[in-house]
Amino acid sequence: MWKGRFAQETSALVQRYGESVSFDWRLYAHDIAGSIAHSKGLLKAGILTAEEQQKIETGLLEIRHEIEKGNFEFKESLEDVHMNIESELTKRIGPAGAKLHTARSRNDQVATDVRLYCRSTIDLIVQHTRAMQAALIECAERGVDAVMPGYTHLQRGQPVLFAHHLLAYVEMLDRDAARLADCRKRLNVMPLGSGALAGSTIILDREFVAQQLGFDGVTQNSMDAVSDRDFVAELLFTISLQGVHLSRLSEDVILWASAEFGFVTLSDAHTTGSSLMPQKKNPDVAELTRGKSARLIGNLMSILTLLKGLPMTYNRDLQEDKEPLFDSIDTISLALEVYTEMISGMDVNRPKTLAAASDPMLLATDLADYLVNHGVPFRQAHEVIGKLVAYSIEQKRGFGEMALEEFQQFSKAFETDVTACLNLETALSARKGIGAPSPQNVKAQLARWRTALNA
């Protein structure tokens, strides 16, 4: 492609070092779509005849079909997916193929391909995200009446419903989906027509070409257009944050599945055994996901580090954007798919969660609220209940085992109705503020999400 300027062949080592077709071949469908749209732009500008444009389009579709069937040979000597396709097209249809690269550069070509690729993969990741939300909803509905402790600092705090805990991750995933959609809006502008860095004296109708490819508009600065990889960094951030969310869920699942907690049972299909200890049933999906989130964060750091020192405009360093991008997309897609399966097969152990939630200390805050409702300032009520907790531990008796007189040793505001707030069911039903885990609220949220996900 540059033989007119160079008298010496490129070193075989340089070819090996600089090739990208071993990984960017996956852009083939987007590269072909971009080339077909570009050929239509060239036709509209009078650079191609209708016959030439038709030859180009037919040839490119044939090549795409061969790639999809696994019958196309990508050559390392041709560096990248773009040159492999263009070279084969020219070999098949002659001079018309050689006209295809008019008024474009590999710089704006690859920028367009990567945007098209990211756009399509975002749509797929959103689908996987919605499927996992649905799996969490289904699991929550199966365990809708299961009560468990809610934790802060990994210490028992207050009673919640198991379904409420899962709904927290539904909310997280919904923010992930929203960020993906927002990222999609920003990347959906077309850089094609920006050339190497300063456009071309051969003027194409860029808006027409953009319409052919489903872009919302075209880039407004040719230098920015060919060097911009903000959308890659933004997508990798969104993916890495989603990975962090999955990692947090993984940590919960790993704890819940342990013998010490015993809150959930994972299916045999989504656990593994030990090569030495025959009794083991390991939550490998959750552990692997927790580990893979580190890779997603690493890929984001790789892109940010890559970009931070680049001058305008295109620099060959940008070839290094694709492997972390492809890896993150593959990783999050598979993680969401396998996690959806695992959650669908996860069952809650109601007796275990109820036993943990029956810890009387979980209702200490309810006792403080009781005192507030009887006229005691909250800070004073907090201190009173703290002393009552210390007394309970010293006496080795729960709140429900104490007489009214014992309560009144700490505050005269306690009355005979104090025992009513020591009932777990009553305590949960009282948590009816917006966002709180009362059974009524949780059922309403499950219904809301079920409707939203089915829409």
| Band of residue 45 on the pLDDT scale cut at 50, 70, 90 | very high
Instruction: Write phi, then psi, for 150 (nearest 5 degrees).
Output: -90, 145
Q: Is the pLDDT of residue 54 over 60?
A: yes
Residue listed under structure tokens 């990222």: 183
For residue 329, CA distances in Å to 124, 132, 242, 309, 341 come to: 10, 16, 11, 25, 19
Q: How far apart are CA 28 and CA 120, in angstroms?
A: 13
Does the pLDDT of residue 2 top 60, yes or no?
no
pLDDT category, 1, cuts 50, 70, 90? low
Q: What sign has the CA pseudo-torsion 346, 351, 352, 356?
A: positive
What pLDDT digit, counting tens, does each position of 211-236 carry? 999 999 999 999 999 999 999 999 99
Q: Which residues pair with 272 in a beta bridge?
A: 282
Handedness of CA 46, 32, 21, 85 (dihedral sign): negative
**382 an active-site residue?**
no
Gap between the Cα atoms of 166 and 168, Å rounded: 5
pLDDT tier, 210 (very low <50, low <70, confident <90, very high otherwise)? very high
Model confidence over 289-318: pLDDT tens digits? 999 999 999 999 999 999 999 999 999 999
CA dihedral of 174, 135, 155, 369, whole degrees rounded to 10:
70
Rg (CA), the chain: 30
Going 189 to 190 to 196 to 202, the CA torsion angle's sign is: negative
What per-residue confidence (pLDDT) applies to 8? 77
Angstrom distance (rounded) from CA 319 to CA 82: 13
pLDDT at 6: 72
330-386 residue pLDDT tens: 999 999 999 999 999 999 999 999 999 999 999 999 999 999 999 999 999 999 999
Mean pLDDT of the chain: 96
Catalytic residue among 22, 120, 258, 274: 274
- Sign of the four-CA dihedral 236, 241, 243, 244: positive
pLDDT at 4: 66
The beta-strand segments (E) located in 108-255 are 147-152, 155-161, 189-190, 217-218
Query: Is 438 noted as a catalytic residue in this protein?
Result: no
pLDDT at residue 10 greater than cutoff 90? no
* 409-426 pLDDT, tens digit each: 999 999 999 998 899 999
- pLDDT band of 3, cuts 50, 70, 90: low
The tens digit of pLDDT for each residue in 181-197 reads: 999 999 999 999 999 99
Helix (H, G, I), strand (E, B) or coil at 119: helix
| Catalytic residue of the set 120, 153, 302, 328 | 153
pLDDT in tens, 76-105: 999 999 999 999 999 999 999 999 999 999
Distance, C-alpha 210 to centroid of its chain: 28
